[in-house]
Amino acid sequence: MNMQPVILWTDALIFALLAVVLALVWFIRRQEHLRAPWRVVAQRPMAMGAALVLSVFVVIGLLDSLHYRAQLTDSPADKPQYSVEVLSMFDALVDELRTQQEKTYSAPLAMQLYAKEFVLRDGETVRDYPRLQYGGAHLKHADARLPDIARRSLIGLAQGLAASLLLFCLLAVWQSHRTHASLGTWLTAWAGGRLDWPGRMVVLIVALMLMLGGALAHLAAGYHVFGTDKVGQDVLYISLKSIRTGLVIGTLTTLVTLPLAIGFGIAAGYFRGWVDDIIQYIYTVLNSIPGVLLIAAAVLIVQVYIESNPDIFDTAAARADIRLLALCLIMGVTSWTGLARLLRGESLKLRTLDYVEAARAFGVSNARIISRHIFPNVFHLVLIAIVLDFSGLVLAEAVLSYVGVGVDPSMYSWGNMINGARLELAREPVVWWQLGAAFAFMFTLVLAANLFADGVRDAFDPRLGGRR
């Protein structure tokens, strides 16, 4: 399939961030003092299990950041024309979930619509639940639905279990060869938890994810696993597409927050005097303004700019993307004050230590003292703040979208899902699955981020003494 690559602003920033992270990993691997705390993180079972779950979210988000526009089928070969719809590699992988759209609401794993309609049956018009066009279309009778769901689930679980056993066998052979031990010795050490990494937790999490993925894949091939929304779109597809929005909010907002928090916080604590007074005045004033008002004002300004310049943003995806980027920027500008205060207090303490005073007495420049003595000693606070604030930013997007000042309504996000489902909770019967799916995915991501953050905090915070 011919396609035209599309690079959105957030796509470029995401892959630039990925390149920076890979460069940091390469640098950390070459420094033993930097590698040591991460080795402690890797020895914590809960942290490693959470990291595996987060890696699945990250892979989905990266695949959803590779955008393109497909070539129209009837366009000439010498002058190809492309669709205005911007898709991603993730859309290509789950094309059936995207294209199999029903008329309106349907419950999870259902074969009929959720509301009655007038249908023609046996030559007369009756009011009944119409059959879905795609969900359960392979079945002739409704009585066969439950056995078919059970069969598909068991096949998916069995295939996932078989795949996990195969991976475990390959892992055991590789590890026994690497450690120059017999296969039986390594298996005994693994079963007893005597490895230098949490092997049992890793194997368990991988097996659970493969089994769950296999069951979902087989069920999604014949049903709408999480039902459909008001316009008949698959809720599982919407939930998976919303992962990228949550990751973008959590990561790009942090990129805006860190330079402001680190620069202002360290400067206020190290220089003190009028520099400290000005910086304190800035973040005190900023904290006195409700953040929602600033975000709402910024989003409205960006929206007016987009509508005034339709030639710059020629697709719906570009318009939604620039609004998402603006939201990340304004959230970063309004959320740096807490970390800045923490770094200010730590810098006030560090500047009075003997080695900093000695460096100042020998005429070392302030910039070099900050870069060589102050920043390395507050880096653990920065790292801990990053992983702790990530989940808060993901939840903040849901709240902002719920009140109408979040991402563009046309963009997939858990906040938009919750906002679209809130009015349906008052109807009878209740349409609950859209809210439930958003909650389940958001809960999984935030819980994994918090568990991983706990492991990072325990390993990097010197006051905890590296407790296990």
Q: Which domains, ranges and CATH numbers included, belong to the chain?
A: 237-450 (1.10.3720.10)
The answer to whether residue 210 scores a pLDDT higher than 90 is yes
Average pLDDT, the chain: 85
The answer to whether residue 171 scores a pLDDT higher than 80 is yes
Q: pTM, whole model, 2 decimals? A: 0.87
The answer to whether residue 170 scores a pLDDT higher than 80 is yes
Q: How far apart are CA 137 and CA 145, in angstroms?
A: 10
Rounded to 5 degrees, what are φ and ψ at 68?
-160, 165
Nearest to 113 by CA among 144, 143, 135: 135
pLDDT at 53: 93
Contacts (Cβ under 8 Å, ≥6 apart) of 246:
57, 394, 397, 413, 414, 442, 445
Question: How many other C-beta atoms lie within 10 A of the C-beta of residue 228?
Answer: 31
Contacts (Cβ under 8 Å, ≥6 apart) of 464:
457, 458
Nearest to 198 by CA among 43, 310, 369: 43
The structure tokens 């858990």 sit at 414
Instruction: Pull the structure tokens for residue 351.
Output: 């500047």
Percentage of the residues of the chain whose pLDDT score is greater than 90: 19
User: Is the alpha carbon torsion for 192, 198, 199, 205 positive or negative?
Assistant: positive
pLDDT at 125: 72
pLDDT at 461: 67
Task: State the pLDDT confidence band at 462, using cuts at 50, 70 and 90.
Answer: low
Task: State the pLDDT confidence band at 466, using cuts at 50, 70 and 90.
Answer: very low
Per-residue pLDDT tens for 277-291? 898 888 888 888 777
